[in-house]
Homo-oligomer: A and B are copies of this chain.
Amino acid sequence: MTYCVALNLAEGLVLASDTRTNAGVDHIATFTKMRVLEKPGQAVVVLMSAGNLATTQSVLSLLQGRRGEDGLPAIVSVPSLYEAAVMVGAVLREVVARDASATGMNAGIDFGSSFLVAGQIAGEAPRLFNVYPQGNFIEATPDTPYFQIGESKYGKPIIDRVVDYDTALPEGATCVLISFDSTIRSNLSVGLPIDLMLYLRDSFDTRQRRRFDENDAYYREIRQAWSRGLRDTFTRLPVLPPLASG
């Protein structure tokens, strides 16, 4: 499994992904699920992935290898992030068609993958797309400024309660880390470290990135404070009155 979250807020983007992959509980490994591609001052395209690792790696290899005349991956020379999402969807279909076509060899394997495509192309605001395993996609809007892929349910309530379009980037990032904590506690197949990236609108600066592992002081601090705060809040709730006899 996997857990990736992306927020597209007024100030910019908050992007986070876990790093655990597994093919059964006896085959667990660490792979980053966040890929940052850029053309300085012109384009930032961040891809996050969930699903079949062979598929996601092939999609990323092909996207990175297909170069434009400037020698950069073609995906950073699109006129609009919409076109980047189209490109991801097309390559995804191509890979699945190639790998899943061998009849009799599929053994019930799900070749599907999902991608979050986030970033900014000069001339546009930052945008965020969720590319489905079928290659089609939807875009986040201020009404619902975030997408999750992978194991999304455990960590959704806290995002719904805290984040809206005007949330500041650091606050959004803290909420996303708490959302990861809830998910990691509940699903063993989502695991540390977490790759986090903040992208400030119009900056074209991709350096605000950090990997959080279990020894990260900030992550430990907010996990503990959150846990304590929840328990304190719970303890202060009014006590259930005796139930009416039924």
Contacts and interface: CB of A to CB of B under 8 A. Distances in A.
Contact of A221 (B227, B232, B238): B238
Nearest to A151: B153
Contacts of A245: 207-209
A226 B237 contact: yes
Given A233-B230, A238-B222, A244 B161 contact: no
Interface in A155-195: 156-158, 160-162, 170-171, 173-175, 177-178, 182, 185-186
A161 B237 contact: no
Contacts of A242: 208
Chain A contact patch, size range:
35 or more
The quantity of this chain's copies bound in the complex is 2
Contacts of A218: 238, 240-241
A186 B236 contact: no
A150 B157 CA distance: 17
Interface string A109-128: 00000000000000000000
A180 to B, nearest CB: 12
A196 B154 contact: no
